[in-house]
């Protein structure tokens, strides 16, 4: 089914534009996604991180075709996630995307062996028994689990079960694997093995991988980490590895604020606190950056034009781009090209006084165990 979403993120494999998901619980509305934008290119392996309740699972449920957003646009490959028929939805879940959930028990059928579990989605997609057996063994091999192909889930460790789960997710050669806290129930060494298996799904088998987690440490495991806060993407960390002049490879992490299509961005809480930026700020366009000032800071008179600095929080259509006649007196706050180096060394670590999200629960009801089963046969 061809997508009818606008050209936003035309080349991207996944494009979410102003995605909104509101849950109505009795008379209370919970805005789980509040205008989220997200672009993921084919072949990327990214992490989406955020505190509990920030909307991560809601986003994955939408992207995996299990839930329909309230408003906005969402596209994966050529599939418009807001306008799929039931039949399209089933095809999409069976062969375009694959899933790995946090609870190992939700990914695998307990009475089947690892190999039979991997063959199951292929049977539902109509492939023949010999082809199923061959591909199942290839995938288990790629996940380092070929030697345990005949074990049932209870005869495997948690990390092994997750590696088999990744093989199940890959069974029908999906374009994208979505993993919701896949290492949440594992210790960190086992979690690293599972990440390694996801990386192999990405690099060796060509699947685009989107991992959701509350564990900020994953940014060292992926090329790009997107932070989600109160249902919107707020910052991105890009990891680059470069060879230095001394021939040694070095990895750097650069933090960016996400600028949405309407021009909104979120200033990090520690930047706002440091300069007591609140309610409204004064903006000044300079030749290569934008200055952001506390609105109580006196305006420095300019030679030309007269000082009528814009004050609105939303970027107004002010007359731009005359390089200042004199350098500004105030040290400008540049859009963060580098992380503000918080004490913990974790660029996402919230400052001590960071406001907590209003909703702290992790109340997403478990979706169907086996998303590739037709409706009515879900074992949830």
Q: Which residues between 38 and 57 bind Mg ion (CB under 5 A)?
A: 56-57
Q: Does 219 bind Mg ion (CB under 5 A)?
A: no
Q: How far is the CB of 271 from ligand ADP (least distance, A)?
A: 24
Whole-number Å distance between alpha carbons of 115 and 137: 7
**Which residue in 5, 16, 57, 348 binds ligand ADP (CB under 6 A)?**
57
Whole-number Å distance between alpha carbons of 147 and 155: 13
Number of residues binding to ligand ADP, judged by CB under 6 A = 18
Q: How far is the CB of 297 from Mg ion (least distance, A)?
A: 41
Q: How far is the CB of 2 from ligand ADP (least distance, A)?
A: 29
Q: Which residues between 57 and 76 bind Mg ion (CB under 5 A)?
A: 57
Q: How far is the CB of 213 from Mg ion (least distance, A)?
A: 9
**Which residue in 217, 359, 368, 369 binds ligand ADP (CB under 6 A)?**
359
Q: Which does 235 bind (CB under 5 to 8 A by kind): Mg ion, ligand ADP, none?
A: none
Q: Which two tokens stand for residue 1?
A: 């089914």
**Which residue in 43, 309, 364, 369 binds ligand ADP (CB under 6 A)?**
364
Q: Which two tokens stand for residue 251?
A: 């990895």
**Which residue in 16, 19, 36, 58 binds ligand ADP (CB under 6 A)?**
58
Q: Which positions from 17 to 56 touch ligand ADP by CB under 6 A, shown as an x/- string?
A: ------x-x----x-x-----------------x-xxxxx
Which residue's Cβ lies closest to Mg ion?
Answer: 57
**Which residue in 41, 187, 346, 362 binds ligand ADP (CB under 6 A)?**
362
Q: How far is the CB of 332 from ligand ADP (least distance, A)?
A: 34
Which residue's Cβ lies closest to ligand ADP?
Answer: 359
**Binding positions for Mg ion, rule: CB under 5 A:** 56-57
**Binding positions for ligand ADP, rule: CB under 6 A:** 23, 25, 30, 32, 50, 52-58, 359, 361-365
């Amino acid at each position: 089914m061809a997508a009818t979403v606008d050209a936003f993120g035309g080349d991207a494999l996944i494009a979410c534009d102003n995605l909104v998901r509101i849950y109505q619980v009795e008379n209370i509305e919970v805005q789980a996604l509040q205008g989220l934008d997200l672009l993921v290119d084919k072949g990327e392996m990214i992490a989406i991180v955020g505190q509990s309740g920030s909307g991560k699972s809601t986003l994955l449920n939408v992207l995996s075709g299990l839930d329909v957003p309230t408003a906005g646009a969402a596209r994966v490959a050529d599939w418009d996630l807001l306008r799929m028929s039931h039949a399209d939805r089933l095809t999409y879940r069976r062969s375009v995307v694959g899933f790995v959930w946090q609870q190992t028990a939700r990914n695998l059928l307990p009475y089947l062996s690892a190999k039979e579990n991997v063959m199951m989605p292929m049977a539902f997609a109509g492939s023949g028994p010999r082809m199923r057996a061959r591909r199942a063994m290839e995938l288990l091999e790629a996940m380092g689990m070929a030697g345990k192909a005949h074990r049932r889930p209870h005869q495997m460790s948690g990390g092994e079960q997750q590696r088999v789960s990744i093989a199940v997710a890959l069974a029908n050669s999906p374009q994208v694997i979505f993993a919701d806290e896949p290492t949440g129930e594992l210790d960190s060494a086992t979690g690293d093995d599972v990440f390694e298996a996801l990386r192999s799904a990405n690099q060796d088998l060509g699947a685009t991988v989107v991992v959701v987690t509350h564990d900020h440490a994953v940014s060292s495991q992926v090329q790009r980490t997107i932070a989600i806060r109160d249902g919107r993407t707020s910052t991105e960390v890009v990891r680059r590895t470069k060879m230095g002049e001394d021939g040694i490879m070095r990895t750097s992490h650069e933090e960016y604020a996400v600028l949405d299509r309407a021009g909104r961005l979120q200033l990090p809480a520690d930047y706002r606190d440091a300069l007591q930026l609140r309610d409204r700020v004064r903006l000044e366009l300079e030749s290569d950056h934008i200055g952001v000032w506390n609105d109580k800071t006196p305006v420095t008179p300019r030679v030309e034009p007269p000082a009528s600095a814009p004050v609105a929080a939303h970027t107004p259509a002010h007359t731009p781009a005359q390089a200042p006649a004199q350098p500004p007196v105030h040290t400008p706050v540049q859009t963060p090209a580098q992380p503000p180096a918080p004490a913990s060394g974790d660029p996402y670590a919230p400052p001590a006084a960071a406001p907590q999200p209003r909703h702290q629960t992790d109340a997403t009801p478990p979706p169907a165990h086996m998303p590739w089963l037709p409706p009515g046969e879900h074992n949830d």
